[in-house]
Amino acid sequence: MKKTVFALISSITMLSVAMAGCGAPGQSSSGEQSQGENSAASDSGSTEKKVLRMNFASEPPTADPGLAEDSTSGAVVRATFEGLTRLKDNKPIESAAEKIDVSEDGLTYTFHLRDAKWSNGDPVTAQDFEFAWKRVLDPKTAANYSYQLYYIKNGEKANKGEVSLDEVGVKALDDKTLEVKLENPTPYFLELTAFYTYFPVNKKVVESNPNWANEASTHVGNGPFKLVEWEHKNKLAIEKNENYWDKDNVKLDRVEFSMVNDSNTELQMYENGELDWAGAPLNSLPVDVVPALKEEGKVITQPIAGTYWYKFNTEQPPFNNVKIRKAFAYAINRQAIIDNILQLNQLPALGAVPQSMSLNPDGYFKDNDVETAKKLLAEGMQELGISKLPEITLSYNTDSNHEKIAQAIQDQWKKNLGVDVKLANTEWKVYIEDLHQGKFQIGRMGWLGDFNDPINFLELFKDKYGGNNDTRWENAQFKELLNQSALEKDPAKRKEILAQAEKIFVDEMPVAPIYFYTDSWVKQDYVKGVQVSGLGDIDFKWADIEK
């Protein structure tokens, strides 16, 4: 009997010891709560604090602009840093730079910086920019997005270790003047300087502490907000940066981000008043509730620069025949897929370049053109000398939305062309590897623009074995036009050249475009001025709460 009692007592003691060992969730937050009360108390008397409550779908992988490569990190970095330019209403405006001179040949940019300070009080200098860009290009930094800086003279060579970093075309002439030399006249260069890989970092801070970007206490930025709290995996908060040059235009006092991954939970928190925003661009709205939300007229939808397409493997029959590729592309009823499956007002893609940067808004062919498709299929089969198509497999990565779309298209091909297509899905990373290695016949892929220029959606098909082509398609004329566009300084002429290139691309149809992406979200009525750019980037600088 004694032993039982002993066993019970000992197991209870063990449990309680274990409990004591585990950090109760209350402990860490209690400190912050009192802090919050203090600051609130000090502000009492003045107006109520303007706090925006947002949600991240995941922990931001980094708060270092040089290493960021995803939209969550991008949101943090865009709020806490400031590039030479910043996008406002999709146009780059001067930000850290006060004045920008461009040379006649479009190859040299001189940026005159305004007097601005880092969040720790240091002045923002041209040397900080030079340091930041060279740091990204340094192979030792191993920044995945370093190729964003390949437009700078010798940027690519330095990153690949062919020339030293000193030969990169960025130089601080003095504390406030930054001179940048480019490889080619790049008409969209000022859009690029608004991209986070081009943001500065505080040279002194980075050199003295390599882990500076990992915690809120050591993080230093020059943006409208500063990072004040980062409880990894749980929450992150930014507050207005009093050292910011344009602080008078920053209305919010604080933005708080929780990190709830589940989109249903996020929406419920929004509906319960615990969040001010739910859905894109930081997460997505759960598809099942979208019709109901739309009926209430709450959903805000905006097209973003992204194309969802099916890539053909143009080296394998039957898709080595252009007519068969076209037949498959024409026989898809895109509008039906958007209306019945996607439901978020996506736009049918009848070209490669999305609407926001469109070269030809009417598209290059007709959606659901069954008659032409049938004719082309017959002709194509004749050209190949076959009376029956070989077995065709449509691949996609495992995901319920991709599956629904694939099933719909499988059905449309069956009905419209009388072709049986098999479906195959694999896990994401396995899928990408297969696609990059050409182990597919038709494969799904999405492509999002990094900056607002059509070249984003064409350049990847320039080289047969280019890292993101996958289709093994190549066309000399297309390539030549892209090369021309890189040298053309006149924007109108350049647009024309790119439109010609897109036309060739659609005529050759190495991919069947399906739809252009949109971002959809719901927000509380008092939230104003949050900018979601045509690229799907979120910016809080001009945000406000008007209760």
Partner 1 sequence: MFRYLGKRILFMILSIFLIVTATFFIMKAVPGGPFTSEKNVPDEIKAALEAKYGLDKPVFQQYLDYLKGVVTWDLGPSFTEKSSTVNQIINRGFPVSAYLGIEALIIALFGGIILGIIAALKHTKWPDFTSMVIATIGLSVPSFILAAFLQYFFAIKLGWFPIAKWESFKYTVLPAVALSATPLAFIARLIRSNMIEVLSQDYIKTAKAKGLSTLTTTVKHAVRNALLPVITYLGPLLANILTGAFVIERIFGVPGLGREFVISITNRDYTVIMGTTVFYSIILVVLVLLVDIAYTLVDPRIKLGGTGKE
Residues that bind partner 1 (CB under 8 A): 1, 3-4, 6-7, 10-11, 15, 18-19, 21-26, 29-30, 59-64, 67, 139-144, 146-147, 159-161, 213-215, 231-235, 258-262, 264-265, 268-269, 271-272, 274, 427-430, 432-434, 436, 445-447, 467-468
Nearer to partner 1, 221 or 380 (CB): 221
* Closest CB 305 distance from partner 1, rounded Å: 14
Nearer to partner 1, 57 or 370 (CB): 57
Nearer to partner 1, 1 or 476 (CB): 1
Nearer to partner 1, 62 or 335 (CB): 62
* Closest CB 316 distance from partner 1, rounded Å: 20
Burial 452-475 (b: 16+ CB within 10 A, else e): bbbbbbbbbbbeeeeeebbbbbbb
Nearer to partner 1, 299 or 445 (CB): 445
DSSP letter assigned to residue 347: E
* Closest CB 124 distance from partner 1, rounded Å: 23
* Closest CB 258 distance from partner 1, rounded Å: 5
Give φ, ψ of 528 to 5 degrees.
-125, 155
**Per-residue DSSP letters for 440-477?**
-SEEEEEEE-SSSSTHHHHGGGSSTT-TTT-S----HH
123 prior amide bond cis, ω within 30: no
- Amino acid at residue number 231: E
- What does the alpha-carbon distance between residue 197 and residue 372 come to, in Å, rounded to a whole number? 45
Nearer to partner 1, 358 or 469 (CB): 469
- What does the alpha-carbon distance between residue 449 and residue 451 come to, in Å, rounded to a whole number? 6
Nearer to partner 1, 69 or 246 (CB): 69
Rg (CA), the chain: 27
* Closest CB 313 distance from partner 1, rounded Å: 16
* Closest CB 422 distance from partner 1, rounded Å: 21
- What does the alpha-carbon distance between residue 430 and residue 426 come to, in Å, rounded to a whole number? 6
DSSP letter assigned to residue 153: T
Query: Do the beta carbons of residue 439 and residue 300 sit within 8 Å?
Result: no
Angle, to 10 degrees, between the axis of helix 400-417 and the axis of helix 370-384?
Answer: 80
* Closest CB 232 distance from partner 1, rounded Å: 6
Joined tokens for residue 253: 């006092």
Cα separations in angstroms, 10 against 5, 7, 18, 22, 287: 8, 5, 12, 18, 50
- What does the alpha-carbon distance between residue 488 and residue 253 come to, in Å, rounded to a whole number? 45
Query: Do the beta carbons of residue 205 and residue 120 sit within 8 Å?
Result: yes
Nearer to partner 1, 227 or 419 (CB): 227
* Closest CB 79 distance from partner 1, rounded Å: 16
* Closest CB 256 distance from partner 1, rounded Å: 11
**Per-residue DSSP letters for 300-357?**
EEEEEEEEEEEEE-TTSTTTTSHHHHHHHHHT--HHHHIIIII-S--EE-SSSS-GGG
- C-alpha neighbours within 13 Å on the C-beta side of residue 457: 35
Q: How many CB atoms lie within 10 A of CB 23?
A: 8
- What does the alpha-carbon distance between residue 320 and residue 48 come to, in Å, rounded to a whole number? 65
- What does the alpha-carbon distance between residue 136 and residue 130 come to, in Å, rounded to a whole number? 10
* Closest CB 330 distance from partner 1, rounded Å: 27
Nearer to partner 1, 228 or 376 (CB): 228
Q: How many CB atoms lie within 10 A of CB 41?
A: 9
Nearer to partner 1, 58 or 90 (CB): 58
Pairing of strands 442-448, 538-539: unpaired
Q: Which helix (H) or strand (E) holds 353?
A: none
Nearer to partner 1, 468 or 484 (CB): 468
- What does the alpha-carbon distance between residue 275 and residue 277 come to, in Å, rounded to a whole number? 6
* Closest CB 169 distance from partner 1, rounded Å: 19
* Closest CB 468 distance from partner 1, rounded Å: 5
Cα angle 169, 174, 175; round to 5: 110
* Closest CB 432 distance from partner 1, rounded Å: 5
What's the maximum distance between 2 C-alpha atoms anywhere in the chain? Answer: 96
Closest CA to 398 of 441, 438, 444, 440: 444
* Closest CB 397 distance from partner 1, rounded Å: 10
